[in-house]
Amino acid sequence: MVHITQNWRLVILRGIAAILFGISAFLWPALTLFGVVMLVGVYALAEGLITLVAGMKRLSISPRRWAFVPQSLICIGAGTLSLAWPEAAALALLAMIAAWAILTGVLKIATATHLHISIRREWVLAGSGIVSVAVGLAFILQPEAGALVIIWTLGAYAFAFGVMWIMLGLRLRNLGRMMRHH
């Protein structure tokens, strides 16, 4: 249990990165599709690397370390493809974001289900997973949505996701403090 609480800073950093992405999407809604592809690529790559670092810290501690690998690889792959081939990625952006949101959302829900014994308010993690899946499905069902709607939806999703991760990180910090005092 201690190993989960030691990564609270990375969880909060992940939340801050998501909030910054969300704010930038609202402040500059006229970004071109190329700019959005690049921004999503950088964000996905950063999230994947942060998740990978958190998972690597667990290698010698937990037999459940595999749970971080798929999410990390999905994020790193999506980010790398977006940055390496922005023209092609612009055509496939909606599909990539939808798949990324659905897959990571399912993994977050699965992780929350596993953590429900270890931490209270695991609903924060499950909630971020549900929001992620819902956004992914909305992109699949409404492909004709305009660039502005896509940018604002991504911004709202990232902002909500970031708030939930910060809440989880603070909860993990407090849990770690309580464990050290007992």
Listed by start position, the domains of the chain span: 2-181
CA distances, 93 to each of 139, 143, 146 (Å) = 10, 10, 13
Cα distance between residue 157 and residue 150, in whole Å: 10
Report pLDDT digits (tens) over 82-137.
899 887 777 677 787 789 889 999 998 888 887 766 667 777 788 889 999 998 88
Residues 6+ apart with CB under 8 A from 168: 11, 15, 124, 125, 128
Write out pLDDT tens, residues 23-50. 988 888 766 567 778 888 999 999 999 8
This prediction's pTM:
0.49
Q: Which of 82, 149, 138 is nearest to 105 (CA)?
A: 138
H-assigned helices in 58-85 = 68-84
3-state class (DSSP) for residue 122: coil
